[in-house]
Amino acid sequence: MLNPLATDTFDVAIIGAGVVGCAIARRFTLEGARVAIIEKADDILDGASKANSAILHTGFDAPPGSLELSCIREGYKEYTEIHREMGLPLETPGAHVVAWSDDEAARLENIVEQAASNGVANVKLIDADELFRREPNLSEHARMAVAVPGESIIDPWSAPYAYLRQSLENGASVYLSCELNAGVFDDGQWLLETSRGTLPCRHVINSAGLHGDTLDEALLGETEFKIKPRKGQFVVFDKAAARLINSILLPVPTDRTKGIVVTRTIFGNVLVGPTADEQESRTDTSTDAVSLASLLASASAIIPALGAMPVTAVYAGLRPATERKHYRIAARPDKNWITVGGIRSTGLSSALGIARHVFGLYSESGANHHPVKQPKIPNMPSLAEGGQRDWQRTGHGEIVCHCELVTEREIRRALGEPLAAHSLSGLKRQTRATMGRCQGFYCSARLAELTEGHFDVPMSVKAGHD
Amino acid sequence: MTDNAAHATKHHDVIVVGGGPAGLAAATELKRLGIPKVAVLEREPVAGGIPRHCGHSPFGMREFKRVLAGPRYAKKLVNTARDIGVELLTSTSVVEARPDGRLLVTSDRGSEEMTARRIVLATGVRETPRAARLISGMRPLGVLNTGALQSMIYLKNQKPFERPVIIGTELVSFSAIQTCRHANIRPVAVLEETDRVISRWPSALFARMVGVPLHLKTRLLSIEGDKSVSAVVVEDDRGNRRRIECDGVILTGHFTPDVSLVRSGHLTVDLASSGPVVDQFGRCSDPAYFATGNILRPVETAGWSWNEGCQTARWVADDLAGKIAHHDHELQITTGDDLIRFAVPQKILLPLAATGMKTLQLRFSRPAKGNLLALNDKKVIWKKRMNVLPERRFLIPLDRLVGSCENGRMELRFDELGE
């Protein structure tokens, strides 16, 4: 028999600390529930949430009348309300859906109409002259565009970190490196068996992302959907490229995909991606040279001057798509279980909205809590290019990562509680160390030294020489 | 004790950005020439640059007339600079190079602006990392450049892996082997995409001597491993693929100037050399800025960079004294084909003065035989028969090259001869 991981019964256990799980943890904690978050990786945001295009969408192109649309709208609204007090960056450069052919140009009118019926204001057609005035470096082949002024860029990692930190600071518990293996539902209560011990709770929320279907199957004995992982590869250009682009450049979408985006990031880079390839594996986030080269070609077809810009980073993420397009959010009241599945590509934008929706479903079960009266609000360190950074203040020690100007004080903070980084990936997401031009040429040795004893898989071991 | 503790002055005659061989040489020479206030800004806690973590190679012949190991050589450069009165500010990073000789700088004291009449950029080179090489596969721990490996081993006594594969056969690749041996790391293979070792022959001999198998015409296809490297997949020129089990990958060479201050600021970058555009005095597009050493181009030895630093210092001193001669014409040098990787300087002021660089530095992208041609106004004004190899320095005397050149552009072209 397993040892207990916790003995007191939680109101709810949230499985999976991706952006959706973190937002749900925050919402439930603020509403007064006793929350446990269980994550199998050594750091949060290790699955689908580690790689996305870092855009906060307005929902202008979401399916009309869908749950996805209402969650994006809610999520967008709440983010804009809370970002300042949490120290989360938000920039609203707006997006342009660019038509590159007559055929695409003919479809722009529909996009404007859809935006209006989705409740997104000020979306309008602009002609080529206006488009080139706004984006002077755009390829001359652009015909016209739809301007969506509300589309924004955010920090895709500090946002979920803030959600989970607020949850923890107001009483929730997080269990990392903790894999859920089995569970028994009896008399209105679950006893979850995890790799770190047993945990009793009344409700379970499955926000396991890429493993959502297998988790349903393992604990409920059935699943309503099948995850079909879709890989998206991205290329990040040198910060010097940020001068070449003012807004988020979107293609006219097709039935299959939203297509390849070129956008500035909140960190001052330019991002191009994602590709969209279905695959079996739920863990294989490898990049391939052919796809990366095709992304570079797409980028220079959109903004020719990007062809001369150095590449800073490449990455790939897996989106938890299913056999259908829509979100797969469903409650099983008979089992005190809510599945939040198939949040394939808009999770960063919709997470706060999904959290509200899921809390609504949960409340229908009759649960009754008292919202936290004066919740603690975490203040996140700013990593945005335009924001107040630690290197601007005294007493930061030294610059460790020169490319991204990450200070020794920032590294030490990220290695301390709460939510200390347990891997280089986690540290990167919290501080941006090694994410710049040199990708660790200068700072790997210093980082190996500073992180000694902190990582489950160390960057290096003490050598016997000298 | 560094000079950081003393209250640093914010205005200088010359600020040198980067405390490697070129930067320290420039600062030392400027002091020797009587320039009163000269500072070196070094972002690492200790100045000296890359030689600090090259525990083995021969350094110092040109500068000190004796053979030294990298760390001792670096220390000697630092001491020489300090003894002559160069203000050395370590753990001090330049964030932004601004017009009119203003620098945004950060240190433990926070950010501040420093100014100087002239600024010398000497930020050196680094190797191309994995991402920019567009290598396929997973992105686990244990994929490093030689520079990072050397810092770990020589500066921090840390060991990132036991059995890495080494990619590349430039000079630095063999330095990677030596670094591994120092820490009892046993490389399992050295891979080279082309049909010959890039660096000169004694290095290749060295690899064989220490028993590391060298595979020519073999390229890295992808990297495997979730958290740490577990294997690489390689492919030979006939398309045969195989897995090599290993726990690390050392990506060597493919040096690129560290030009972040140039790219993100107001100075012009030369896409061919990846360094700043300079004239024969090392002056950038903003004449308050000079560049010297490996930021000019990838990549030369410490001794060569040191010598450039000394020379540039003289031109900076001349400039401060208003002694850089007046010029009538500006000649832009362009390279017309992809065989010529770069030419430095990119701009020559005519008529040629007595001072300034005496030669044009050229590099080629692959082995070739043929004629190097200089064209002015579509007329061939200079021609030379050459056998060229990649990663080798070729120098063309400027006076002969531009002697009959008129205003405008000079195009360099390489006409290959058949077998």
Domain holding B374, by residue range, is 329-416
CATH label of the domain that carries residue B231? 3.50.50.60
Q: By CA distance, what is A307's nearest residue in B?
A: B271
Identify residue A139 by its one-letter amino acid code.
Answer: S
Whether A113 is covered by a domain: the verdict is yes
Whether B1 is covered by a domain: the verdict is no
Q: Which residues fall within 8 angstroms of residue B277, CB to CB, at 6 or more apart?
A: B267, B268, B269, B270, B284, B285, B346, B347
Task: Average the pLDDT over A392-398 and give the result.
Answer: 96
Facing residue for A460 by CB, picked from B110, B111, B159: B159
Identify residue A45 by its one-letter amino acid code.
Answer: L
Same domain for A328 and A366: yes
Which residues 181-210 in chain B show a CB within 8 A of chain A? 182-184
Q: Which tokens belong to B321?
A: 């004294």
User: How much is the pLDDT for B409?
Assistant: 87
Last residue of a domain, one of B233, B253, B273: B253
CB within 8 Å: A394 and B93 = no
Same domain for B275 and B334: no
Number of domains in chain A: 3
Whether A98 is covered by a domain: the verdict is yes
Same domain for B116 and B20: yes
Query: Smallest Cα–Cα separation from A185: which of A364, A25, A334?
Result: A334
CA–CA separation, B234 vs B222, rounded Å? 7
CA–CA separation, A167 vs A377, rounded Å? 9
Same domain for B184 and B249: yes
User: How much is the pLDDT for B5?
Assistant: 42
A309 with A315: CB under 8 angstroms?
A: no
Q: Which tokens belong to B85?
A: 């009165």
Q: Which tokens belong to B188?
A: 């399992």
Same domain for A259 and A295: yes
Q: Using a CB–CB cutoff of 8 Å, tell me whether A284 touches chain B.
A: yes
Using DSSP's 3-state secondary structure scheme, residue B248 falls into: strand
pTM of the model: 0.96
CA–CA separation, B250 vs B176, rounded Å? 8
Whether B3 is covered by a domain: the verdict is no
Same domain for B104 and B159: no
Q: Using a CB–CB cutoff of 8 Å, tell me whether B215 touches chain A.
A: no
CB within 8 Å: B136 and A283 = no
Residue A2 predicted with pLDDT over 80: no
Q: What is the pLDDT of residues B235-280, one digit of tens each?
A: 999 999 999 999 999 999 999 999 999 999 999 999 999 999 999 9
Same domain for A311 and A171: no
Which residues 64-83 in chain B show a CB within 8 A of chain A? none
Facing residue for A393 by CB, picked from B110, B153, B227: B110
CB within 8 Å: B160 and A286 = no
**Angle between the B70-83 and B302-320 helix axes, to the nearest 10 degrees?**
20
Whether A22 is covered by a domain: the verdict is yes
A240 with A299: CB under 8 angstroms?
A: no
ipTM: 0.95
Same domain for B218 and B105: no
Q: Using a CB–CB cutoff of 8 Å, tell me whether A440 touches chain B.
A: yes
CA–CA separation, A121 vs A112, rounded Å? 10
CB within 8 Å: A441 and B127 = yes
Q: Element (H or E) spanning A180, and its range?
A: strand A180-186
Same domain for A301 and A234: yes
SS3 content of chain B, % helix, strand, coil (to 5): 25, 35, 40
Q: Which tokens belong to A251?
A: 């293609």
Same domain for A7 and A85: yes
SS3 content of chain A, % helix, strand, coil (to 5): 35, 25, 45
Q: Using a CB–CB cutoff of 8 Å, tell me whether A413 touches chain B.
A: no
Compute CA distances A86 → A302, A382, A392, whole Å: 35, 10, 20
Which residues 250-289 in chain B show a CB within 8 A of chain A? 256, 258, 260, 263-264, 271, 274
Number of domains in chain B: 3
- From chain A, the residues in CB contact with B153 under 8 A are 463, 465
CB within 8 Å: A308 and B271 = yes
User: How much is the pLDDT for B6?
Assistant: 43
Which residue is it, tokens 């290197």? A391
Q: Which tokens belong to B167?
A: 């990619």
Last residue of a domain, one of B236, B253, B270: B253
Q: What is the mean pLDDT of chain A?
A: 96
Whether A457 is covered by a domain: the verdict is no
User: How much is the pLDDT for B201?
Assistant: 66
Report the gap between the CA of B159 and the closest CA in chain A (Å).
5
Same domain for A234 and A313: yes
CB within 8 Å: A438 and B129 = yes
User: How much is the pLDDT for B119?
Assistant: 98
Q: What is the pLDDT of residues A47-57, one digit of tens each?
A: 999 999 999 99
Query: Smallest Cα–Cα separation from B193: which of B212, B225, B218, B171?
Result: B218
CB within 8 Å: B147 and A391 = no
Facing residue for B131 by CB, picked from A284, A311, A402: A311
Task: Average the pLDDT over A237-245 and give the result.
Answer: 96
Q: Using a CB–CB cutoff of 8 Å, tell me whether A305 touches chain B.
A: no
Give burial (CB, 10 Å; 0-12/13-18/19+) of B230: middle
Same domain for B262 and B118: yes
Using DSSP's 3-state secondary structure scheme, residue B95 falls into: strand
Using DSSP's 3-state secondary structure scheme, residue B341 falls into: strand
Same domain for B221 and B247: yes
Task: Average the pLDDT over B83-94 and give the result.
Answer: 98
* Size (chain A), residues: 466
Query: Smallest Cα–Cα separation from B345: which of B329, B336, B337, B334?
Result: B334
- From chain B, the residues in CB contact with A236 under 8 A are 131
Same domain for B301 and B352: no
Same domain for B375 and B298: no
Whether A455 is covered by a domain: the verdict is no
Q: Which tokens belong to B200?
A: 């000169």
Of the listed ranges A371-380, A393-402, B336-345, the least confidently predicted one is B336-345
CA–CA separation, B353 vs B326, rounded Å? 9
Whether B6 is covered by a domain: the verdict is no
CB within 8 Å: B158 and A440 = no
User: How much is the pLDDT for B203?
Assistant: 67
CB within 8 Å: B147 and A441 = yes
What is the distance, to the nearest Å, from the Cα of residue A383 to the centroid of all Cα atoms in its chain? 16
> Phi and psi dihedrals of B282, rounded to 5?
80, 15
Where does A334-381 show beta strands of DSSP type E?
Answer: 337-341
Report the gap between the CA of A108 and the closest CA in chain B (Å).
35
Q: What is the pLDDT of residues B3-61, one digit of tens each?
A: 444 445 679 999 999 999 999 999 999 999 999 999 999 999 999 999 999 887 789 98
Q: Which tokens belong to A411?
A: 């590294």
User: How much is the pLDDT for B419?
Assistant: 58
Residue B341 predicted with pLDDT over 90: yes
Residue A315 predicted with pLDDT over 70: yes
User: How much is the pLDDT for B170?
Assistant: 92
CB within 8 Å: A445 and B127 = no
Last residue of a domain, one of A322, A345, A363: A322
CA–CA separation, A63 vs A178, rounded Å? 36
Last residue of a domain, one of B201, B222, B253: B253
Residue B142 predicted with pLDDT over 70: yes
CATH label of the domain that carries residue A270? 3.30.9.10
Query: Smallest Cα–Cα separation from B271: which of B335, B339, B193, B194?
Result: B335
Same domain for A306 and A339: no
CB within 8 Å: B157 and A462 = yes
Compute CA distances B345 → A94, A101, A266, B16, whole Å: 42, 44, 36, 20
Compute CA distances B228 → A90, A102, B138, B374, whole Å: 35, 49, 10, 51
Q: Using a CB–CB cutoff of 8 Å, tell me whether B178 touches chain A.
A: no
Q: What is the pLDDT of residues A434-461, one digit of tens each?
A: 999 999 999 999 999 999 999 999 999 9
CA–CA separation, A402 vs B124, rounded Å? 14
CB within 8 Å: A423 and B227 = yes
CB within 8 Å: A287 and B228 = no
Query: Smallest Cα–Cα separation from A314: which of A430, A229, A231?
Result: A231
A407 with A401: CB under 8 angstroms?
A: no
Compute CA distances A319 → A55, A107, A277, A430, B376, whole Å: 15, 27, 10, 21, 56
Whether B271 is covered by a domain: the verdict is yes
- Grade residue A464 by pLDDT with cuts at 50, 70 and 90: low
A28 with A203: CB under 8 angstroms?
A: no
Task: Average the pLDDT over B306-321 and give the result.
Answer: 98
User: How much is the pLDDT for B405?
Assistant: 76
Percent of chain A with pLDDT over 70: 99
Residue A283 predicted with pLDDT over 60: yes
Residue B283 predicted with pLDDT over 80: yes
Q: Element (H or E) spanning B309, and its range?
A: helix B302-320
- From chain B, the residues in CB contact with A405 under 8 A are 93, 95, 106
Facing residue for A289 by CB, picked from B136, B157, B158: B136
Residue A63 predicted with pLDDT over 80: yes
Whether A464 is covered by a domain: the verdict is no
Compute CA distances A174 → A17, A165, A216, A359, whole Å: 9, 10, 21, 19
CB within 8 Å: A446 and B144 = no
CB within 8 Å: B134 and A289 = yes
Q: Using a CB–CB cutoff of 8 Å, tell me whether A113 touches chain B.
A: no
Where does B19-147 show beta strands of DSSP type E?
Answer: 38-41, 87-89, 93-98, 102-107, 110-121, 125-127, 136-137, 143-145
Report the gap between the CA of A40 and the closest CA in chain B (Å).
14
Q: Beta-carbon neighbour count of residue B65 at 10 Å?
A: 7
Alpha-helix residue ranges (DSSP H) falling in B18-69:
21-32, 61-64
Q: What is the pLDDT of residues B104-116, one digit of tens each?
A: 999 999 999 999 9
Whether A385 is covered by a domain: the verdict is no
Q: Using a CB–CB cutoff of 8 Å, tell me whether B153 touches chain A.
A: yes
- From chain B, the residues in CB contact with A457 under 8 A are 141, 227-228
Report the gap between the CA of B198 and the closest CA in chain A (Å).
22
Report the gap between the CA of B384 and the closest CA in chain A (Å).
31
Facing residue for B148 by CB, picked from A293, A393, A445: A445
Q: Using a CB–CB cutoff of 8 Å, tell me whether B112 touches chain A.
A: no
CB within 8 Å: A441 and B93 = no
Using DSSP's 3-state secondary structure scheme, residue A248 falls into: strand
Query: Smallest Cα–Cα separation from B122: which of B257, B232, B23?
Result: B23
Last residue of a domain, one of A290, A307, A322: A322
Same domain for A444 and A425: yes
Q: Using a CB–CB cutoff of 8 Å, tell me whether B159 touches chain A.
A: yes
Facing residue for B141 by CB, picked from A296, A459, A465: A459
Buried b (16+ CB within 10 A) or exposed e, B99-131: eebbbbbbbbeebeebebbbbbbbbbbbbbbbb
Q: What is the pLDDT of residues B343-364, one digit of tens each?
A: 999 999 988 889 999 999 999 9
> Phi and psi dihedrals of A248, rounded to 5?
-95, 125
Q: Using a CB–CB cutoff of 8 Å, tell me whether B157 touches chain A.
A: yes
Same domain for A80 and A180: yes
User: How much is the pLDDT for A360?
Assistant: 98
CA–CA separation, B358 vs B232, rounded Å? 46
Domain holding A275, by residue range, is 91-152+228-322
Task: Average the pLDDT over A86-111 and give the result.
Answer: 97
Same domain for A287 and A141: yes
Residue B199 predicted with pLDDT over 70: yes
Report the gap between the CA of B91 and the closest CA in chain A (Å).
6
Facing residue for B151 by CB, picked from A403, A437, A444: A444
Report the gap between the CA of A161 and the closest CA in chain B (Å).
22
- From chain A, the residues in CB contact with B228 under 8 A are 457
Preceding amide of B287 cis, omega within 30: no
Task: Fill in the DSSP letter of residue B153.
Answer: I
User: How much is the pLDDT for B204?
Assistant: 66
- CA torsion, ordered A315, A320, A322, A326, to nearest 10 deg: -110
Same domain for B206 and B150: yes
User: How much is the pLDDT for A1?
Assistant: 56
Same domain for A38 and A185: yes
Same domain for A256 and A246: yes
Whether B157 is covered by a domain: the verdict is yes
Q: Which residues fall within 8 angstroms of residue B359, CB to CB, at 6 or more apart?
A: B395, B396, B397, B398
Same domain for B149 and B74: no
Residue A317 predicted with pLDDT over 90: yes
A107 with A63: CB under 8 angstroms?
A: no
* Size (chain B), residues: 419
What is the distance, to the nearest Å, from the Cα of residue B76 to the centroid of all Cα atoms in its chain? 21
Whether A459 is covered by a domain: the verdict is no
Same domain for B61 and B46: yes
Task: Fill in the DSSP letter of residue A255.
Answer: S
CA–CA separation, A400 vs B78, rounded Å? 22
Report the gap between the CA of A399 and the closest CA in chain B (Å).
7
Whether B5 is covered by a domain: the verdict is no
Whether B85 is covered by a domain: the verdict is yes
CB within 8 Å: B136 and A445 = no
